[in-house]
Amino acid sequence: MSDILFLATGLGSGLLSILIALYIYRMVMNADEGTDKMKEVSKLIEDGAHSFIRVQYRILGIFTIILAILIAIVFVDFGIPIAISYVLGSIASMIAGYIGLVVATKANRRTAAAAASGGLNPAFRVAFRAGSVMGLMIAGIALVGLTSLYWFWNVILPDSVFVVYPREAELWEIVTGFSFGASTVALFAKAGGGIFTKTADLSADLVGKVEHHIPEDDPRNPAAIADAVGDNVGDVAGTGADIYDSNVAAILAAAILGAGIDLHFSPPVSFALLPLVLAGLGTIASILGVFLVRPKEDQDPGPILNRGTYITTILFAVFSVAIVLLLGLNIVIAISAIVGLFAGVFIGFTSDVFTSDRGLGGFKPVPKMVESADKSAANLILSGYAYGLLSVLPSVIGIAIAMVVSYFIGGTLGFNEWEGGIYCVAIAAVGLLSTNGMIMSSDAYGPIVDNARGVIEQAQAPQEAIWACDKLDASGNTAKAITKGFAIGASSISVLALFAAFIEATDTLNIPGVDGLLVVNLSHPSVLAGALMGAIVPVVFSAILILGVERNSERMIEEIRRQFDEEPGILEGTTKPDYEKCIGIATSGAIRELMPGTLIAIVVTIATGAILGLEALAGYLGGAVLSGLILALLMDNAGGAWDNTKKIIESPEYTKYEVGTDDWHRVHDISVTGDMVGDPFKDTAGPSINTLLVVISLTATLFLPVIAQLHLWFIGLF
Amino acid sequence: MSDILFLATGLGSGLLSILIALYIYRMVMNADEGTDKMKEVSKLIEDGAHSFIRVQYRILGIFTIILAILIAIVFVDFGIPIAISYVLGSIASMIAGYIGLVVATKANRRTAAAAASGGLNPAFRVAFRAGSVMGLMIAGIALVGLTSLYWFWNVILPDSVFVVYPREAELWEIVTGFSFGASTVALFAKAGGGIFTKTADLSADLVGKVEHHIPEDDPRNPAAIADAVGDNVGDVAGTGADIYDSNVAAILAAAILGAGIDLHFSPPVSFALLPLVLAGLGTIASILGVFLVRPKEDQDPGPILNRGTYITTILFAVFSVAIVLLLGLNIVIAISAIVGLFAGVFIGFTSDVFTSDRGLGGFKPVPKMVESADKSAANLILSGYAYGLLSVLPSVIGIAIAMVVSYFIGGTLGFNEWEGGIYCVAIAAVGLLSTNGMIMSSDAYGPIVDNARGVIEQAQAPQEAIWACDKLDASGNTAKAITKGFAIGASSISVLALFAAFIEATDTLNIPGVDGLLVVNLSHPSVLAGALMGAIVPVVFSAILILGVERNSERMIEEIRRQFDEEPGILEGTTKPDYEKCIGIATSGAIRELMPGTLIAIVVTIATGAILGLEALAGYLGGAVLSGLILALLMDNAGGAWDNTKKIIESPEYTKYEVGTDDWHRVHDISVTGDMVGDPFKDTAGPSINTLLVVISLTATLFLPVIAQLHLWFIGLF
């Protein structure tokens, strides 16, 4: 009985979240669309985003179908249910990305119009509502997808088909297909979007600003719309997909670990379904938080936004304690969820220390980097890189402490120490991600305001409207810094939970050759070799992405030059450039650069397990987490620090040289170099690693029965 | 009986190597010192090197004494023997570094004189002989130190004192002190030398070239001598110390693992002492190789140098097969040593692909980077960084394969699979390092020629002499590329062997709480937390070194400016600048920046074990290897690639823009930025990681009994 209640809570809160998102979407659509000029500019971005989606989803569709067929074939048992779950996971992820992109591109002109007619407050309302459509949508889709799939397969599959594996374990193995679909699509959205946006950015600047001296975002530039589309593609759809897939993976990992406890200890309630309840409560807390974000007339929106996040967090903490007590469970489960929340806040805070102009006390990395920029470009690059390295320290310690603490208290649950402990680590991940609806709402708001500002400028709206957008933008940046840290923390702890889920699955799925829980003995050379292999996956993937941006921008630069050469009317402003062409190049190029890396990651994961065995595969996952975490934090934070170094030099608070003097230009040029290096760091390679780690962890877990089979066949060769 | 023979072989070949080094030293000293002007310039460098040594060794002396006292106190058993071994290890390492520095700085004017009077061939002879003094000396000192210490303690300590630990295991634990001393000194030599040389380089260029427009190496620059000293300190003494300490550590690791086999299986000959024999044979092969490097009149010295290396390698392979057959041992031991040799060659080769102007087939990273430099500084930085990341792939795969193969064949030795397998992994490390005498001889030759060229130029010697030195320099660069890869491969496999030796020591030392071999289960959160902690150690250490160079050069720049301001005669060339002062700042600053990082590394290692336990400490070592290997390869190779990108643009083969045109200057300036970023990558942070990994591995192994005690005390608190 409690099972159905749990499922209903998950499904119900997910559906509620989606319905409210749709309701808010209608409110946003009813807002004034602004002047004709605003509509014109904004429509171009909207159409561009659709072009991107069309091309990307066509390729993704083919990819998904081929992979689904392969899955249906290679799995001896349940190939078709897994393939169906995988396809549904991909589709759900695509829908989430699509909705985010649509609402963001439709909301920018409406935000612009509200800023022009009503000022700060109405503009904030439109932008934040649009952001919350994305936030509540991804939270809702995750819940609805996971619960309804589990429920469906549970109802439809008779006990008689579960011959090889225990029912409970196999059901979650099937649902893993959903998470795998979500993550592969997220990888394309995040890394593909990252290549797309930096390709457009770099190419537009190089041909437009440097070669033809036309201003940034000038509509004569064939890449201008691609550039604006890129902001939405990378920041809204990409970040949304990243958090969405971490959330799905965290819930799934907790469910797999819970299923192990259910199987071995038959607790009073289902520990596999409990994470769905917690995630559902987090979503309800997010919905309440979203409705509480209502600034009073001319109030600074920044604190309001943060207050919304704080309230959501507190509400979730209260809800989780209440439900755990209500169910008569051990309070440590709720405490673990809260530990996860704290870890997320801590990582966000320390990332902010390394990337903001404030620093912490006397430790001020970014102001130090401003001084370095005065010396030479090399000094700025070196200090940014060194501070980026240093920024890894607090986050990793935070993650390690959260993991050890939740494991330690989970060990007191009364089950097997490992299973109880590791379940609580997974619950910490679920807790950290529980408020993702609210976090994403305040994050997606940033790029919408940013785009609105561009629309206002190009539509020559009044100065006050620009001023209002600037103010909104500033508070958006703080929210963004928090989200970046949140995303890294969320994916790291989720990946650690997935790592444990993989170990648990080797047991619950009765994998041949594994007796009890897998022992991943790092002192065994095959495990160490697996760890070495795993450690280089994020390294090579980052290299491919960065080189991909460079190669892709070469193609796009050629196209922009071709348009300028063949149609002199473009530069004169009499002929419209072919925006679509540039968007097409950025999109197909992004996917072309990304596809090999993604396939390699999946194939190498399976091959490592098949050749070196499951212990080595677990070592591989561990190695990937270690190096991935370091590279992601290094690149995200160094990139953010270089970006803010440039911003400080451009701001009035930089008083060392007067704006426009030779010295100022020298320092500014150097800071631009830093920012250009940082762009693919923080917007392409760094954040994509999060999703990559989830993808390879899920590959290992999903294909576990296949890999075990392949390994037996492989060692049989000798 | 065979024990004494084994020890005598090790000791004898070590002593022989030292005697021959001294004999060659006398030959070098007998060479003509050149013109008065040459002597004057060269003496300044020599005196500068002595200043450096004085300051550094004073601080190192204090450090060593304090640490020795601490060791004597904290070890319940054998504190004093360990402390004595540690002090001797430090002193031996200091002597090795001192001799290398002395011979290098004395040889440069003699090489210059030979080039001026006799041309290519005599100059080559002097330089190579000087290099081989260093090469044979470090190989000899390692062997003499290890064998005589073991022998001494074995003779002097009665059986009755070995109460807690088995005699064989404890003796090697005491000798570990020697290796620990070697490595801590090496870390100061390598990382301190790295900070020193880049501080001097950066400061001399900035104040001299940029602010006062005086040429590079101009004697009016107060930092000119520090800069020249830096080349010797970093490239000769630093690299020598790095290879020396890897060699000592590899032999020690193999001995510890062999001691385990001796204890558990009582094989016919001592497996603990066998590595000494192999290292001894490698040293004899090196001596022969050194004597075979004799170029014919006006022959290009590059191939001669490589031929010497090849012959040494083949000789060692033959020797090791012969001795293994002679002793009636399983041939797989010799094969493992050869596998190690191959791994070293492979890593050297692939590093060369990523850093040379040739590349491999159609894959040409450096020529691609030359194109990037034409676009923007950011493009060059990004492509160098991306190729640096990519360069990690082949080396890591090479290391993983060497490890798995030698483990696999070692498993057939007939002992316990793990002990036999892992012993052969350690033998692979010994094999890789066996030819270190020859490798180091051809490496040390490079900076000597480089310095000779500077002496010739400043002494206004004939053009043909410069030409001869240039030709010698070019062949030195190839040797250097090989050595870089060799050093990374050597330290990685040595560290893997040390990791295994740590595991073995937990067993052979009968550490309380460990039953049999330690199981390092990565799926246990405390091991994973340990791995996370370990992974950040090289990250933070790199950050400290890079920031240290920047901070240290700020101090030195101030001093140079002060001298120019207070003594106008300096710039006019009438007053001699205070070279000593700059050298002092570079030295003490380097040590000041380095000391915290070193102490933190040692303390964090001990603390991780004390708090989280020995399994977590093993995880910590594993995590450190993974991230350290990636960072070291990334920084070494990216730095090398940026360096060569600049060299190509400066060379006649770069034809895109004519030298001296605006475009050429633009591209060249960008390449200089890349090189400046790469300098601390490849000369400070990257190579220091090798030594850091050895230091923390040895810390764990040496302090194992203390850490186990502390951990018992710690968990007793709860």
Report the pLDDT value the prediction gives residue B478, as an integer from 0 to 100.
67
Summarize pLDDT for A137-187 with one digit per residue, the tens.
Answer: 999 999 999 999 999 999 999 888 888 788 888 899 999 999 999 999 999
Chain A partners of B416 at a C-beta cutoff of 8 Å? none
pLDDT at A471 over 60: yes
Q: Which of B35-39, B230-234, B659-663 has the lowest mean pLDDT?
A: B230-234
Q: Which secondary-structure segment (H or E) carries A679?
A: helix A662-680
Q: Does the beta-carbon distance from A526 to B404 stay under 8 Å?
A: yes
Report the pLDDT value the prediction gives residue B588, as an integer from 0 to 100.
84
Report the pLDDT value the prediction gives residue A404, as an integer from 0 to 100.
94
Interface test with B, best of A211, A407, A521, A684 (most B CBs within 10 A): A521
Q: Does the beta-carbon distance from B523 to A546 stay under 8 Å?
A: no
Q: What percent of chain B has pLDDT over 90?
A: 52
Confidence of residue A481 (pLDDT cuts 50, 70, 90): low
Packed helices B224-231 and B436-458: angle between N→C axes, nearest 10 degrees: 160
Name residue B363's beta-bridge partners: B360
How close, in Å, is residue A618 to chain B by CA atoms?
8
Q: What is the dihedral of CA A685, A687, A692, A693, to 10 degrees?
A: 120
Other CB atoms closer than 10 Å to residue B147's CB: what's the count? 26
How close, in Å, is residue A503 to chain B by CA atoms?
7
- Residue B139 forms contact with A (CB below 8 Å): no
Report the pLDDT value the prediction gives residue A469, as an integer from 0 to 100.
81
CA–CA distance, B600 with B581 (Å, rounded to integer): 29
Chain B partners of A630 at a C-beta cutoff of 8 Å? 535-536, 539, 627
Q: What percent of chain A has pLDDT over 90?
A: 52
Query: Which of B 489-508 lie inside 8 A of A, CB atoms?
Result: 496, 499-500, 503
Packed helices B525-566 and B662-680: angle between N→C axes, nearest 10 degrees: 120
Q: What is the dihedral of CA A320, A322, A326, A331, to 10 degrees?
A: 60
Summarize pLDDT for A63-72 with one digit per residue, the tens.
Answer: 999 999 999 9
Report the pLDDT value the prediction gives residue B416, as an integer from 0 to 100.
85
Query: Backbone dihedral region of B354: left (phi > 0), alpha (psi from -120 to 50 degrees) or beta?
Result: alpha
Q: How far is CA B266 from each of CA B6, B274, B329, rounded to the nearest angstrom?
A: 16, 14, 14
- Residue A701 forms contact with B (CB below 8 Å): no
- Residue A22 forms contact with B (CB below 8 Å): no
Nearest CA in chain A to B400: A529
Other CB atoms closer than 10 Å to residue B215's CB: what's the count? 11
Report the pLDDT value the prediction gives residue A1, as an integer from 0 to 100.
54
Summarize pLDDT for B218-229 with one digit per residue, the tens.
Answer: 778 888 888 888
- Residue B288 forms contact with A (CB below 8 Å): no
Q: What percent of chain B has pLDDT over 70?
A: 99
Give the residue, B523 or B20, on which the prediction is more confident.
B20
Q: How far is CA B307 from each of CA A279, B291, B301, B312, B471, rounded to the nearest angstrom?
A: 67, 12, 10, 8, 17
Q: Coil, strand or helix: which one is A360?
A: strand
pLDDT at B476 over 80: no
Interface test with A, best of B368, B369, B385 (most A CBs within 10 A): B385
Tokens of B535: 């992974």
Tokens of A229: 């589309």
Size of interface A-B (CB pairs under 8 A): 220
- Residue A623 forms contact with B (CB below 8 Å): yes
B166 phi/psi in degrees, rounded to 5? -65, 145
CA–CA distance, A379 with A373 (Å, rounded to integer): 7
Report the pLDDT value the prediction gives residue A249, as an integer from 0 to 100.
95
Report the pLDDT value the prediction gives residue A259, as an integer from 0 to 100.
92
CA–CA distance, B460 with B465 (Å, rounded to integer): 10
Q: How far is CA A269 from each of CA A274, A338, B455, B479, rounded to the nearest angstrom?
A: 8, 21, 82, 68
Tell me the H-state helices in B237-298: 239-265, 274-292
Packed helices B525-566 and B193-203: angle between N→C axes, nearest 10 degrees: 40
- Residue B607 forms contact with A (CB below 8 Å): no
Q: State which of A236-240, A560-564, A608-612 shows the largest mean pLDDT.
A: A608-612
Q: Which of A472-476, A651-655, B26-30 has the lowest mean pLDDT?
A: A472-476
- Residue B30 forms contact with A (CB below 8 Å): no
Summarize pLDDT for B262-290 with one digit per residue, the tens.
Answer: 988 999 999 999 999 999 999 999 999 99
In whole numbers, what is the pLDDT of chain B averaged over residues?
89
Say which amino acid occupies B612.
Answer: L
Report the pLDDT value the prediction gives residue A478, as an integer from 0 to 100.
67
Query: Backbone dihedral region of A442: left (phi > 0), alpha (psi from -120 to 50 degrees) or beta?
Result: alpha
CA–CA distance, B328 with A480 (Å, rounded to integer): 68
- Residue B697 forms contact with A (CB below 8 Å): no
As to burial, measured by CB atoms within 10 angstroms (0-12 exposed, 13-18 middle, 19+ buried), residue B76 is exposed
Query: Which of B 175-194 lie inside 8 A of A, CB atoms?
Result: none
The average pLDDT across B372-399 equals: 94
Report the pLDDT value the prediction gives residue A426, as an integer from 0 to 100.
95
Say if CB A203 and CB A210 are below 8 A apart: no
Chain B partners of A525 at a C-beta cutoff of 8 Å? 403-404, 407, 421-422, 425
Confidence of residue A372 (pLDDT cuts 50, 70, 90): very high
Tokens of A493: 């702890």
B653 phi/psi in degrees, rounded to 5? -70, -15
Summarize pLDDT for B577-621 with one digit per residue, the tens.
Answer: 888 888 888 888 888 888 888 888 999 999 999 999 999 999 999
Summarize pLDDT for B645-690 with one digit per residue, the tens.
Answer: 998 898 888 989 998 899 999 999 999 999 999 999 988 999 899 8
Confidence of residue B1 (pLDDT cuts 50, 70, 90): low
Nearest to B626 among A376, A535, A540 (CB): A535
ipTM of the complex: 0.93
The average pLDDT across A482-506 equals: 87
Report the pLDDT value the prediction gives residue B573, as an integer from 0 to 100.
80
CA–CA distance, A228 with A216 (Å, rounded to integer): 11
In whole numbers, what is the pLDDT of chain A averaged over residues?
89
Interface test with B, best of A626, A633, A714 (most B CBs within 10 A): A626
B222 phi/psi in degrees, rounded to 5? -60, -20
Say if CB A249 and CB A186 are below 8 A apart: no
Nearest to A680 among B382, B393, B399 (CB): B382
Confidence of residue B545 (pLDDT cuts 50, 70, 90): very high
Summarize pLDDT for A576-606 with one digit per residue, the tens.
Answer: 888 888 888 888 888 888 888 888 899 999 9
B662 Cβ contact list (under 8 Å, min separation 6) = none
Tell me the H-state helices in A509-524: none
The average pLDDT across B226-235 equals: 82
Q: Which of B420, B623, B538 is nearest to A532 (CA)?
A: B623
Report the pLDDT value the prediction gives residue B481, as an integer from 0 to 100.
67
Q: Does the beta-carbon distance from B523 to A499 stay under 8 Å?
A: yes
Rg (chain A; Cα; Å): 25
Place of tokens 């160490």: A528
Report the pLDDT value the prediction gives residue A514, as an integer from 0 to 100.
74
Q: What is the dihedral of CA B83, B89, B91, B97, to 10 degrees?
A: -150
Say which amino acid occupies B681.
Answer: F
Report the pLDDT value the prediction gives residue B517, as an integer from 0 to 100.
81
Say if CB A52 and CB A140 are below 8 A apart: no
Summarize pLDDT for A101-149 with one digit per residue, the tens.
Answer: 889 889 989 998 998 888 888 888 899 999 999 999 999 999 999 999 9
Q: Which of A445-454, A517-526, B320-329 has the lowest mean pLDDT?
A: A445-454
A515 Cβ contact list (under 8 Å, min separation 6) = none
